[in-house]
Amino acid sequence: MPLYKITYPDGRVDDGIICDDDVIPRQLAEGGGSFELKPEPEITSAQIERQARKWRNRQLSGTDKYVSVTDHPDHAKIMAYRVKLRQWPNDADADFPNTKPTIDS
């Protein structure tokens, strides 16, 4: 959702109004105030990689319970998936972080 900066007629500034459209900012700024759409903050590649690793770690944690259940019908698939998850951020062939491993790939 867009982020707006509102300057009220009395000079007060609200630098973080989040709205679907500009109707509310326009109403808030009525009477001599102003509003402007703030640009979306750029996400750095380091932030993207950090988010991807967090996702990967959650996937590993979510499958931890299956490691010791060797008679689970999908045990081999889960174990192979976990290997792919561990290799994913370091795999030179992977389009990290755009191509996430899946349990069926």
Report pLDDT for 9. 79
* Sequence spans of domains, the chain: 3-38, 45-90
Report pLDDT for 16. 73
Q: Which residues contact 20 (CB under 8 A, 6 or more apart)?
A: 1, 2
Q: Which residues contact 19 (CB under 8 A, 6 or more apart)?
A: 1, 2, 4, 25
Report pLDDT for 34. 78
**Regions of the chain with pLDDT less than 70:** 1, 25, 29, 39, 91-96, 105
Report pLDDT for 11. 81
Report pLDDT for 105. 61
End-to-end CA distance of the chain: 34
The candidate with the shortest Cα–Cα distance to 20, out of 37, 6, 7, is: 37
How many whole angstroms separate alpha carbon 52 and alpha carbon 68?
A: 26
